[in-house]
Structure 1
């Protein structure tokens, strides 16, 4: 496989949630840009090789942490020897609905199960007799709920339940659909229902969240330490935690920190900013950043920060703004308010505000790139990369993996 083929791989991921709306796994979306997957002699083999390499060069296995990665498998990839290079404990092989249940396919699936792979069947909307043997081999059945009426979905589930399969509802777009699937006994869910403002409609930013974001705005605007100290003083809980953390960081020193100004100086502004960002993610959420939307927010912000560093090396201010734009972009989904209302009181820089409210400037292009990578939207990725000369698909892949590793790590910190 040529290096160019590897460079053209796009790596996306979509969260898969459990019944408690906690992260269970990611579906990893490997795409080869404009390459036609029907070109079996070239496209599929190239993609298979890159997927295998992704778990080594890109470190996807480490990025997944405790979570599994669901990988789409078409007929050609199913029979590729490269499939067996994947770490069995870290992946679920998601057999696409286009794979015909031929005797050869059944035999291959039996061998993969025997080798320790977990199998899932994708996009099930009805039980066709010819798929009975394949269905018996898989552990997870992904049901596409979109084309099904309530009655059709209920009837399908009634047929699936006696088989003892784990049921995953995909393309869940609303709370109503989520609740229906919960009642029917689905245990896994995939879709963007949790990222829509209507899901948590009417919720307002609480006082601590507003204070945290105002403080981040001051840090990004390079405000004087005295101004940051003044903003912290009405927040005794934050102040105590800041002093505790700074004393802990400087535990090797005999000098104890007792003032806010001293703490800010010792800790450093970038470290303080990271701490505040972590608090924003976990504010009001006892399970920390294990909330899928908060994890997505953290990952998006970190991805944009890393890509900003590649676009404008050495420009820390631009990277910080990219991070802020990334995490702020999902606040409407988190609190159910328009982005303009959220941004108004925070004193954000014009670049961040314009990117969030109008999608303009390089930060707006980075935001579109991040959103497209999350959804696996190849046309959107192509357009966004075209707006950002200097960024390659390979650079995007590495940044995505690093961002996922980072968000997993802060999730563990927040839950600790």
Structure 2
């Protein structure tokens, strides 16, 4: 657990930084130095920006862009997580057999209730087949209830004396069924001592320094991804989705590469677009497209634009849910997602929408700022602006209280975080 020394990761080179995925990997080996798995570290985003979003970006880039066959082959992948990311929707896209989620301790201010509250999340992940790894803090008395959750316990050799390490190994074997990993092993003496205690897995600079894997990405346009999101939201037929995939080679390429990656866990290769859509299903296809939207870029359009658009869509959907029929809520989502299409494509909204078939009320709101969705879009924009007068005016027009709107906005932001959309 933890980030390797940055100086040991070779600097990336090349042009067009936005189209390169950078992932550092460090081997976890057995006592014969055969590779058991790899711990991955994201090098595409700012150093130390470890958030629920960067966890998702790392997994998504590893599976969709860098290609897991080149990156980790058939080996197990260890991913550092935040507690927020453990509830993220991006994990629904991952086959659990190949992934170990490394769970940090809670902060110093955590109470016994906070520690107990985490058990429900851990149990749900384990029931889905994920294995959890913890550091040596797990062996503190406060975390006793977490002990049965551990499949791996990592012991930091830089922080433990030989006597302390021996005591912790004995304790872990007495109270857990976890495999112990001696990490940050830097000397032959540390290795020999831990091996003499029966430890089978090791990680550290003495075995392997982190290696940087770079892969050039091939990303579809944001307009095409939004079109796919639109089709999925409408529960379009497989034929309609397949037709879109056939029209955009970059979109279909990314989908086939993702679904055939080892992280997805299929035993046979998928070569048909139709088969890919049927295997993935609409729910997972939506999550995949939403993640792809916010990791795609167009000239002059920062990646945060895609995330903001999806947050707007969810907020529009929530705001209309109490006031409009369900089918109109779906259209409200589309209004929110498409409300930044002009910024994404760098052209007037009317022209941006010309290539997409949309219901007239959606067009009225986006192009003419009129119709049933216009007041909701105005309120959505007011939530972002910080202009209290505009916010109050828009909320009053819809007879919604500040509490209702703020709660919906928080829900939309949380929903986006669970999809891990905030990719830097």
Q: TM-score, normalised by structure 1?
A: 0.43
Q: Identify the structure with the greater helix proportion.
A: 1
Q: TM-score, normalised by structure 2?
A: 0.42
